[in-house]
Amino acid sequence: MRIGIILETKEYEKAWNAFRFAVTAIKIGHEVKVFLMGEAVECEGLTHEKYNVDVQLKNFVKAGGEILACGTCLKSRQLDSTEACPVSTMVDCVNVVVWADKTVTF
């Protein structure tokens, strides 16, 4: 199954769970793409003693997952794209939803 995840929060536990879900889905054989929108574009490098989002994000990329980051959201925060989180557009977000058999939002 192809699973699209739209993540709109950088709240530690929610973002951590979103990436844990994504990693687990890949491990059991699904294809997964994550689109970061709003404050979620700040997830790379986000660490917490209990909910280390950055570790899960890196695990997701290592497992073969694809992350797309809203360019407008990055720009509004004066952030640049990274290798793990390339600049994307709303067209890319729509394409993730169209591509996916199921879409989950966090």
- pLDDT tops 90 at residue 81: no
Q: Output the pLDDT for position 55.
A: 97
pTM: 0.94
Is 3.40.1260.10 the CATH classification of the domain at 2-105? yes
Give mean pLDDT, residues 83-98: 93
pLDDT bucket at 82, cuts 50 / 70 / 90: confident
Q: Tokens 């889905």 map to which residue?
A: 25
Q: Output the pLDDT for position 85.
A: 78
Domain assignments of the chain as residue spans, ordered by start: 2-105
* Contact present, 99 and 33 (Cβ < 8 Å): yes
Alpha carbon 31 to its chain's center = 13
